[in-house]
Structure formats: structure tokens, C-alpha cells
Amino acid sequence: MFDQEIYVTFLWTVSGALLALLGSTGIFVSLLVQRRVERLQDVLEEFLELPYFENKNLTGPMANLVRKYQMYYLFPHGPSQTLLFYLDFTLALIGGIWMFVLLQGLQPPLGNQLVIQGLLLFLIAGNFLLFRRLLQHSINPTGNELFNAIIPPPDQLRSVSYLSRYVNVSVRSMIQQARLALVIQPDGELRLKEELSFDDFFYILSAPGLALWAWGELRLQFPADPITKKPVPLQRNIEIPLAGTSAPALSETISSLTITFWIFALGEKHPIQYRFILDREDGGFHSRPFPENTVQSQIVYQVEQKKLRILKGMELLTGMSAFLDDLWWDGERYYTQTPAKGVPCRCLRMPEIR
């Protein structure tokens, strides 16, 4: 049997050594985080500079930069689990040593002073838990609001509203790289095609030739890769159903259609206006490449409590007057071919990757 005093002294020494190792681990993690933040900022700056080359198709380089950003953002699963296991084991061991030593020194009678001492021990334990959580989020910042303000998660790089609100970037230039196109399939379904899956914006679509109006919030969610289990921040060549048109509207007498598409992003006050010209092709309609797009300064809008309010330029959206109370940022897509009745339909078809 060890001498009680020597054994307790030994435990205190071991506890101090473990705390020193824990501090070294914290320094190691902080250096990793600093290096990751530097690389992520470099990739983010490069990503935001690309859209200004409007005359070039940069969908490939932009998609590659997002994947590169995710590579630096996500810490490898194996090392991160090892670090977290070491962190948990060390904290549990230190806590166990301290509890053993304190129990050895516990002396009756138990009075009010023990409550104060216990409260201090509780605060110390809470501080250790906060330290553990901070290191955990430093290793894997996914879903952590503290680090998201510094290094946004990869899926935010496809968010038009995020880039518009927090980064000095041109929404029009960013959207232009998505290479938007409209298609009406033979069954009458109207689809929006994107070469890059930008989302997180509100849209209003007007097709006078079809007596069609469509609106809603475009928000995409991609499942994790089935093999690697890694999140997918961006997709290529995606089609989003926006509305269903009636068969009489697609009669053979119609050879072309003109559709106006407005994009409303958070942090802006004027929408981006696209003017698509669709020609009949393969039993349906396909928009011509390079549609006209501009900032529609005649329309002024504001977003309040997740609802779009048109402050100016309602004369350009006369068909939407019956639906002003339905312009919610709720992640849903709506349309109607009977605007006078004021009864919208909900588009339930899911986006598809081609």
C-alpha cells in the first residue's frame, strides 16, 4: 500500500501534467484552426472574384473552388475522432483524480461551507465542459454559429442571399454564372435549369402567353454522398420544377413564348430581371441561350418577417395583386393559371439532377 500523503501528492502532479498536455492540445488545435481559416479565406476570395468575368463560362472553376473550400473546411474524420477521444479521456481522468483527492480530504461535519465549496467545483466542471465544446467546434465547425461568422459553411457559397448580405458581391454577376434557362416539357411542366445550383432567393415568374404566374422561395437541400457520407455543397446541371401548365396553353399555334423571371435576394432592394424567349422544340419549349438580364430599378422591395413586400413598381406585377399576402419565404413554390380567382397551387415536384 502506498503512503497516503505521497500518493495524493503524486496524483496532484499527474493532474498538473495532464492539464499541461491539455493546454498543448488546445494550442495545437488553435494553430490548425488559424491555418484553415487562412486557406478558407484565400479560396473564398478567389471564388468571389470569378463572377466578375461575365463573358466566360466559369461554372466548372467555381464548382471546383467550392469542393476545395469544403476540403479545407471539413477536418478528416479519423484524426478528429482521435483528438476528441483524447480530450474526453483526459478530462474524465483529471475529473476522476480531483474527485478522489477531494473525497480523501472530506471531513465531517458537513455544513453550509460545503455548499459553497461544491458550487465552486460545479463552476470549474462547467468551465471544462465549455473548453471541451470550444475545441470540438474548432475541430469540426459544422453548425457552429461562432465559426460560421468567420468561415461560412460550404453550402452557404451557393446562397445568393448570404453572399449578397454579408459579402460585397454582385448578385447579378453571381446569378449569371448559374446559366439559367427555362424549359416547358411536353406534359406542360415548367422547369428552371441551373448549371450551378444557386439558391436562397425569392422569385416571381410571369408568362403572359400562358396566363401563368409562379412565385416562391428557391431553397435546395442535397443529401450526403452515399459512399463517402460527405455533405454535398453544390450540384451541377439541376432542374427545379416551378409550375404545371394546362394542355390548351401549349397548343400547336404557339411557336414562341416570352417569360419574365425576377430574382429577389435578401440584402438587396432591386430584383434581377431575366427575359426568356422560349421556342418550340421536341414537343415542348426551350429558352434561347444568353437571356437578357438586368437590375430592375423600377421595382423596390423589402423583406420583413420572412415576407416579401413590394414597395414600388407594382404596375409591373399587376397579375400578382391577388397574391401579395402569399409572398412568404417559406421554402415552397407556388403557381396559378387563374390569377383572377386568387387560388394558388403548390408545386410538389422535387428538383432533379441531370
More confident residue, 56 or 303: 303
> What's residue 109's pLDDT?
67
pLDDT recorded at residue 325: 76
Residues 292 and 323 in one domain: yes
Q: Are residues 106 and 187 both part of a single domain?
A: no
Q: Give the best-scoring range by mean pLDDT among 63-67, 112-116, 166-170.
A: 63-67
Q: Taking residues 143-167, what's their average pLDDT?
A: 76
* Residues 195 and 287 occupy one common structural domain: yes
Distance, in Å, from the CA atom of 47 to the CA atom of 63, rounded to the nearest integer, reads 9
Q: Domain range for residue 52? A: 4-152
Query: Which tens digits make up the pLDDT trace of 39-95?
Result: 888 888 888 777 666 667 778 888 888 888 888 887 766 677 777 787 788 778 777
Q: Is the pLDDT of residue 116 over 60?
A: yes
**Of 117, 152, 187, which residue is a domain's last?**
152
For residue 8, the model assigns a pLDDT of 64
**Do both 165 and 141 map to the same domain?**
no
Lowest mean pLDDT among 3-12, 20-29, 167-176: 3-12
pTM score, two decimals?
0.79
Report the share of the chain in percent with pLDDT over 70: 84
Q: Are residues 139 and 197 in the same domain?
A: no
Residues 143, 244: one domain?
no
Q: Are residues 15 and 130 in the same domain?
A: yes
Number of domains in the chain: 2
Over the stretch 305-338, which tens digit does the pLDDT of each residue have? 888 888 898 888 877 777 877 788 888 899 887 6
* 167/233 same-domain check: yes
Residues 167 and 135 in one domain: no
**Cross-strand partners of 181:** 193
279 and 327 housed in the same domain? yes
pLDDT band at 171 (very low <50, low <70, confident <90, very high): confident
Q: Please state, in angstroms and rounded to a whole number, the distance separating the CA atoms of residues 183 and 242.
A: 10
For residue 249, pLDDT beyond 80: no
Tens digits of residue pLDDT in 98-107:
777 777 766 6
Residue 77: per-residue pLDDT: 65
Average pLDDT of the chain is 80
Q: Whose CA is closest to 261, among 269, 271, 251, 253?
A: 271
What is the H or E stretch that residue 21 is in?
helix 4-49
* pLDDT confidence bin for 284, thresholds 50/70/90: confident
Residue after which a domain boundary falls, among 152, 183, 205: 152
Examine the domain organization and report whether 46 and 11 are in the same domain.
Answer: yes
How many CB atoms are closer than 10 A to CB 343?
10
pLDDT average, residue stretch 108-125: 72
Does residue 340 register a pLDDT over 80? no
Output the nine-digit C-alpha cell for 36.
Answer: 484553415
| Residue 133 shares a structural domain with residue 34 | yes
Of 131, 152, 173, at which residue does a domain stop?
152
Instruction: Read off the pLDDT of residues 173-223 as tens digits, 9 standing for 90 and up.
Output: 888 888 899 998 888 889 999 998 999 899 999 988 888 889 999 998 888
Pairing of strands 307-312, 181-184: unpaired
What local confidence, expressed as pLDDT, does residue 54 receive? 63
